[in-house]
Amino acid sequence: MGFRHSLDASSLREYDIRGIVGKTLSVADAFAIGRTFASMLARNGGKTIVVGLDGRLTSPELEEAVVEGALASGANVTRVGRGPTPMIYFAAITLKADGAIMVTGSHNPPAYNGFKMMENGQSFFGDQIRELGALAAAGDVVPQSRGSLRTIDVTNEYVARLLQDYDQGERRLKVVWDSGNSAAGEVLAKLVAKLPGEHILLNAEIDGRFPAHHPDPTIPENLVQLQKTVRDQKADLGIAFDGDADRIGIVDNQGEILWADQILIVLAREILKDRPGATVIADTKASQTLFDEIEKAGGTPLMWKTGHSLMKSKMVETHAPLAGEMSGHIFFADKWYGFDDALYTAVRFLSILSRISIPLSSVREQLPYMTSTPELRFECDDVRKFEVVEEVAKRLRKAGADVLEVDGVRVRTPDGWWLLRASNTQPALVARVEGQDSAALHRLIAALVAQLELSKVAAPDFSKAGV
């Protein structure tokens, strides 16, 4: 067969392929990924692949190699250039491509990079990624036959489609955008130029070194600049993106953070006006308030597993028009294509805000208040992490606790709930706790810590979580 290439096992994640360039990810890996992915498509009758890249310094060389690999398997490749991950998804769907490859390190530090993939408009993940690794190592690819290559620019079409679902109300909004030196760059500039209102752009230049701050809007320290600018400019809100702009962060007019489950409440209320009874999905880390508010708004709440690929699959299965994760991935199948797109989410959110008379801070303050920890990750061996969750689940079942086992264990008590799950992307356990008040929160934390001690696992430092 002539082609055999072993990918570093640590780079083969549940939802994508990702590693440290020069250590666990290389140009040779990129060629092998393109070669093998295109072969897998070919065996399923697929021929066309859309390829894009983010703004990381290593993305151009990896994109070049993955394109060459795909061409070597006979694929017809369409390059759409640099932009946010959702723009590549948009291109793949609207061009009716059989597959898509996005070269991106997402929200990871600058040394990282990787690949997100789609097949026939759906996420390519889990067993498919593991199969890709096995096929590459075995050299089990289609015979080499050069495909075709073309380059197109879809940015204008993408921006036009984003704007199509903007529904302007009476309020003209003043918005601060923190692009975070992300791949949103040029697309965001084109978008805000056509949106009503006043728009202030921070860190708009695409820069893979991320000089302003780490490109992850779920970490409060990364929102400090945005919060200050919103307050100083007396803006109506601030919006932030991660490195490839498929995750969103929002701060209100007072500079206070709206977490993803609070953003989802605002979006769900609006969608459920037109689609009563519809299913709205959120991951197991979301506040109980979200599920209660979905029900109050006439929807059907569904708690599901964390992971953007798993969310998309569940949306298709349940015909849900909206889903979201605490990580800031928000998915619209209402008027949109079902994938996570921070730019599209921003457009829909701004539409809603322009049509209500009260400031966003008032919307936030009217939500039921719960005391919670952020998502806490703590080290645990890749094999041991799953064993720990199962041990905890077994003890809780035996004790007759109220336990949901959708994704790890989520334990419900009159005080609130606590969650323990195994990370799908790193050797770590993930915990989150939410209580009716501070005393309830500390009782729940004590219960979680007791379970970890029984499994001989060091608990995370909850004092660093601000509780």
Tens digits of residue pLDDT in 25-57: 999 999 999 999 999 999 999 999 999 999 999
One domain for residues 359 and 409: no
The three-state secondary structure class of 315 is helix
One domain for residues 144 and 167: no
Domain boundary among the residues 111, 133, 153 is at 153
How far apart, in whole angstroms, are the C-alpha atoms of residue 331 and residue 312? 8
Note whether residue 171 is domain-resident.
yes
What pLDDT shows up at residue 321? 98
Largest CA distance in the chain: 66
- pTM of the predicted model as reported, rounded to 2 decimal places: 0.94
Domain boundary among the residues 320, 336, 365 is at 365
CA nearest to 288, candidates 178, 369, 388, 374: 369
One domain for residues 336 and 350: yes
Are 183 and 244 in contact, with CB atoms under 8 Å apart? yes
Predicted confidence band at 467 (pLDDT cuts at 50, 70, 90)? Answer: low
Residue 204: which domain range?
157-365
Tens digits of residue pLDDT in 236-268: 999 999 999 999 999 999 999 999 999 999 999
Find the CATH number of the domain harbouring 325.
3.40.120.10
End-to-end CA distance of the chain: 58
One domain for residues 119 and 61: yes
Tens digits of residue pLDDT in 198-222: 999 999 999 999 999 999 999 999 9
What pLDDT shows up at residue 370? 87
One domain for residues 305 and 376: no
Q: Which are the catalytic amino acids?
A: 106
Sheet with strand 248-252: strands edge to edge: 198-202, 174-178, 237-241, 248-252, 257-258
Mean pLDDT of 296-324: 94
Number of domains in the chain: 3
Find the CATH number of the domain harbouring 420.
3.30.310.50
Q: How far is CA 227 from the centre of its chain?
A: 22
Note whether residue 1 is domain-resident.
no
What pLDDT shows up at residue 289? 95
Tens digits of residue pLDDT in 120-149: 999 999 999 999 999 999 999 999 899 999
Angle, vertex CA 192, rays to CA 269 and CA 201, nearest 5:
105
How far apart, in whole angstroms, are the C-alpha atoms of residue 349 and residue 237? 11
One domain for residues 94 and 128: yes
Note whether residue 3 is domain-resident.
no
What pLDDT shows up at residue 144? 86
What percent of the chain has a predicted confidence (pLDDT) above 70? 99
Predicted confidence band at 1 (pLDDT cuts at 50, 70, 90)? Answer: very low
Note whether residue 122 is domain-resident.
yes
